[in-house]
Chains A and B, each alone.
Chain A
Amino acid sequence: MIEHTELTSGGIEEVELDRDGQLESAARGREQALLGRARVGDERALREIYQQHQVQVRGHLHRMLGADSEIDDLVQTVFSRAFAAIDSFEGKAAISTWLYRIAANTTHNLMRQRFRRARMQQALRWFEVGRGADRVQASKVGARDEVQRILEHLHPDLRQVFVLYHYEGLTLQEIAEILERPLSTVGDRLTRARKRLQTLVDEVQP
């Protein structure tokens, strides 16, 4: 009886796996057809890609950079770069993965600049403490998003992995594919990001 139950249960799982596989392959087929139309310059296909993924791209940029006036411009940059390079996209990865990759490349330089600026401000802040400037600063920064300030002090490479794993809910394998880095590197960065955040939570003053 138990064996029968186990068999039945296994059978159901297999059927569900099959169904999932079929759904996934149908979705892939639709995506390939959409890409095919987009490659020949069909504007409707491009619009469809934009409509399907603009929330994902906008959300990811917001999670990476926080509330920022440049996000709309960056969304346009990500999609225009994607559409301009759609001919060279072979379609082996999902469109969402590809867009994450372009978004990561697009934001990386900006994040590095901001990271350096944050470190400089931190150093200046320590320098200014002795002159009582911290009290003025505290009142100004009180309204700023505390979490975002903590994340700004996390190295861009670590922040990318942290955001993709904890905020976007991607697996390490998917992140490795997006960042085009070995799985071990991604795992290492995630561990380092977590440890660094433990200290940043105390280091970055509210």
Chain B
Amino acid sequence: MRNSDDFDLRPAHYGCHEFREDGERVIADRAHPELVARYAAHRLHCAICDRHHQRLAAVYRAPRLPLGPDEHGLVREFTTIVARTRELHAQRGDPWRRRASGVGIAALATTAAALALTLLMPNLGERLFRLPVGERIELADSPDRLDFVGDRVQIPERTTIEHHAQSFGRIVGGVALLTDSEGRHANSDSFAVGTQIEANDEAVQIALLGRLLANLVPGTHTEWRVASTDLIELGLVSGTLAVRYERHPEDPILEIRMPRAIVRVVGTVFTVSVDAQGWSTIAVLRGEVEVMHPGDRRVLAEVGAGELYDLRTGSSGPLGRPEVAAALPVSDEEPVMVAEGSNRAQSRRSSGELVDAELAQWIGQIPASWTVPGLSDDPRYRTLDHMIDPLTGLALASSRRDRRRDPTRVEAKPRTFVFDRPTPWPVAPEGYDRSALIERERKATVERALARCQVLYSDVDTRFRAARCLNDFMREHGHEPEAAEGLLMFGVLRMDFAHDYQSASRNFEEFLRRTPDHPQAELARYKLILVAIETGTIDLALTRARAYLRRYPDGQYLGRILQRFPELKDEL
């Protein structure tokens, strides 16, 4: 008696039909040896069945796969996938799109009517298509439309160091201890190559050659070593340095030399740290950097966006909150406004107070171009609070208790100040000048609004956020005489953080036109000289410097100007 699992005893006749029935079992190696023998015997004398077997075996054999795309092809393919994913999101996330197409004709008719009105009424056209607030404010009080000298200022295609005046760096935020190459302490905000820069109790921001902005977190010691048309070299002795370098193709390469490594940068945003033993960590937020051995300059690692490279272990991982927090002060992108954040930021408590932390959430966004692991693309969640901690796997925003404990948290300082408290319409006592009272209230309102931006501006950790605040201030109060100081601050931010020298120049000039005798007018004139130097317009810089010397023969920026233009000493 045979077991049912055993070979099924076939009749003595084993023809083509039986052969075809058993084909799959033999090919899949599931047939009894005796069956395999009969199968093979049939194949020998039947050419048609042999051909059938070969074709069936070929079908059951998995096809050989062709080579896939190379590494570059994979990167390109992934980029396309992400773009297509966003398109899909946009299609799904916009339920009104289909409805909008239904009312397209109505919208078209409305637009046509508006255009017709625009043609008939020139003033309407001007109102509809006027410049954005930031561009408009300079012209607000200049009915005769005077020319701006600053319009001559164009950002050059490549960084040049053709004139001695261009080889200086500047402190743009915070107070640093500067030590020159001969060991003397310098009391200035300008420094030359060879200067050591130390940030002690507060962060310090420095600008080099017009396109490089660096943030030194407290306790950082760095040195500016080389400045040439091919290379900018910084030495990082200790601490953490975050750098944004908007490099044009022909600009110098940036290298940061550390005790045990060199970081070579083509153009990116990144953070480097050195610990007490000289070991480094390198975190990249945008672009890519090369880490090289300081001796033979062989490449140790290539660090891409979103990665943190630890030199001690030679390993990479996702970057974290401290690196992003260090780099935030050098961010340049305008925050993306969202309804939720906007409402929150503009909401006032019954007392008329606005907590700065709420404002910080609104304007403290991590730029969209930075790759931060675990961070959403949604602008509402692109803040330090929403970064996932690699250790706990939680976002800081999920725990208020943790938020208070986190030492890396810098953007939400618990500062509360009175903001633009809504005041009732002034009721003038009998016999009192009502118009004077209204004027006093108006002035106070503008000054309070400006003070709010000044709070952000005055703190080195929050200065980069003041641009948004100032933009709103200018939209609201830009025409008021008391708003002129906002122009000066706006210009400084545009120059130092956005590297938009032309707009900065227009802001300074408009500030001087409105308030030529303002206490800060001297600073504005000095800034205009710096703008011309950093854009390589040396003849304009010299003209402005001479005008400054004539106006302020004992000015507070005299030494800094003569440091850059020693040839002007004879003209004093």
Which residues of chain B (332-386) have a CB below 8 Å from chain A? 371, 373-378, 381
A197 lies within 8 A of B375 (CB): no
A37 lies within 8 A of B85 (CB): no
Stretch of B57-65, B144-152, B295-303, B429-437 lying at the A interface: B57-65
Bound form: Cα–Cα A134–B87 in Å: 47
Indicate which residue in B59, B62, B69, B393 contacts A72 across the interface (CB closer than 8 Å): B69
Indicate which residue in A76, A146, A194 contacts B77 across the interface (CB closer than 8 Å): A76
Which residues of chain A (173-206) have a CB below 8 Å from chain B? 194, 197-198, 201-202, 206
Q: How far is the CB of A63 from chain B (nearest CB, A)?
A: 6
Indicate which residue in A63, A67, A80 contacts B81 across the interface (CB closer than 8 Å): A80
Asked if B468 CB lies within 8 Å of chain A CBs, one says no
Complex interface bits, A35-65 against B, C-beta within 8 A gives 1, otherwise 0: 0110011111111001100110011001100
Asked if B82 CB lies within 8 Å of chain A CBs, one says yes
Bound form: Cα–Cα A57–B87 in Å: 21
Asked if A161 CB lies within 8 Å of chain B CBs, one says no
B88 lies within 8 A of A80 (CB): yes
Asked if B531 CB lies within 8 Å of chain A CBs, one says no
Given known A-B contacts A80-B84, A146-B55, A43 and B77 have beta carbons under 8 A apart: no
Given known A-B contacts A40-B374, A43-B371, A151-B59, A80 and B85 have beta carbons under 8 A apart: yes
Query: Which A residues are CB-close (under 8 A) to B388?
Result: 37, 40
Bound form: Cα–Cα A194–B24 in Å: 7
B59 lies within 8 A of A40 (CB): no
Bound form: Cα–Cα A102–B235 in Å: 52
Given known A-B contacts A42-B375, A166-B60, A198-B23, A76 and B393 have beta carbons under 8 A apart: no
A37 lies within 8 A of B65 (CB): no
Bound form: Cα–Cα A40–B201 in Å: 36
Which residues of chain B (393-416) have a CB below 8 Å from chain A? 393
Q: How far is the CB of A35 from chain B (nearest CB, A)?
A: 12
Q: How far is the CB of A15 from chain B (nearest CB, A)?
A: 30
Q: How far is the CB of B215 from chain A (nearest CB, A)?
A: 24
Bound form: Cα–Cα A197–B52 in Å: 11
A44 lies within 8 A of B59 (CB): no
Task: Name which of A41, A46, A59 has the most chain B CB atoms within 10 A of its CB.
Answer: A41
Which residues of chain B (306-329) have a CB below 8 Å from chain A? 306, 318
Asked if A150 CB lies within 8 Å of chain B CBs, one says yes
Task: Name which of A45, A80, A166 has the most chain B CB atoms within 10 A of its CB.
Answer: A80
Asked if A147 CB lies within 8 Å of chain B CBs, one says yes
Report, as a range, how many residues of chain B touch the other chain.
35 or more
Given known A-B contacts A37-B374, A63-B63, A167-B63, A76 and B58 have beta carbons under 8 A apart: no
Indicate which residue in A45, A166, A201 contacts B373 across the interface (CB closer than 8 Å): A45
Which residues of chain B (66-118) have a CB below 8 Å from chain A? 66, 68-69, 74, 77-78, 80-82, 84-85, 87-89, 92
Bound form: Cα–Cα A197–B393 in Å: 51
B82 lies within 8 A of A46 (CB): yes
Query: Which A residues are CB-close (under 8 A) to B89?
Result: 84
Bound form: Cα–Cα A148–B63 in Å: 9
A50 lies within 8 A of B81 (CB): yes
Bound form: Cα–Cα A58–B61 in Å: 18
Q: How far is the CB of B93 from chain A (nearest CB, A)?
A: 10
Complex interface bits, A20-43 against B, C-beta within 8 A gives 1, otherwise 0: 000000000000010011001111
Asked if B119 CB lies within 8 Å of chain A CBs, one says no
Given known A-B contacts A40-B376, A76-B77, A167 and B62 have beta carbons under 8 A apart: yes
Query: Which A residues are CB-close (under 8 A) to B77?
Result: 54, 72, 75-76
Query: Which B residues are CB-close (under 8 A) to A45?
Result: 373-374
Which residues of chain A (123-155) have a CB below 8 Å from chain B? 145-148, 150-151
Asked if B569 CB lies within 8 Å of chain A CBs, one says no
Q: How far is the CB of A116 from chain B (nearest CB, A)?
A: 21
Q: How far is the CB of B141 from chain A (nearest CB, A)?
A: 45
A150 lies within 8 A of B59 (CB): yes
Asked if A83 CB lies within 8 Å of chain B CBs, one says yes
B373 lies within 8 A of A42 (CB): yes
Asked if B139 CB lies within 8 Å of chain A CBs, one says no
Asked if B56 CB lies within 8 Å of chain A CBs, one says yes
With CB as the reference atom, state the residue of chain A lying closest to B92. A84
Bound form: Cα–Cα A40–B375 in Å: 7
Task: Name which of B23, B84, B306 has the most chain A CB atoms within 10 A of its CB.
Answer: B84
B56 lies within 8 A of A41 (CB): no
Q: How far is the CB of A138 from chain B (nearest CB, A)?
A: 16
Q: A40-B388, A197-B56 are in contact. List 15 more A-B contacts (CB 8 A).
A: A36-B393, A40-B375, A44-B306, A44-B318, A58-B65, A67-B66, A76-B81, A79-B85, A81-B88, A83-B82, A84-B92, A147-B63, A150-B55, A150-B59, A198-B56
Sort A-B residue pairs by CB-CB distance and give the 3 closest, nearest first: A80-B84, A84-B88, A83-B85
Spell out B's residues near A (CB within 8 Å): 20-21, 23-24, 52, 55-56, 58-63, 65-66, 68-69, 74, 77-78, 80-82, 84-85, 87-89, 92, 306, 318, 371, 373-378, 381, 388, 393
Q: Show 16 residue pairs from A and B whose CB-CB distance is below 8 angstroms, ordered by the A residue.
A: A40-B375, A41-B378, A43-B306, A44-B318, A44-B371, A51-B74, A58-B68, A62-B66, A67-B66, A75-B77, A76-B80, A84-B85, A147-B61, A147-B63, A150-B59, A166-B60
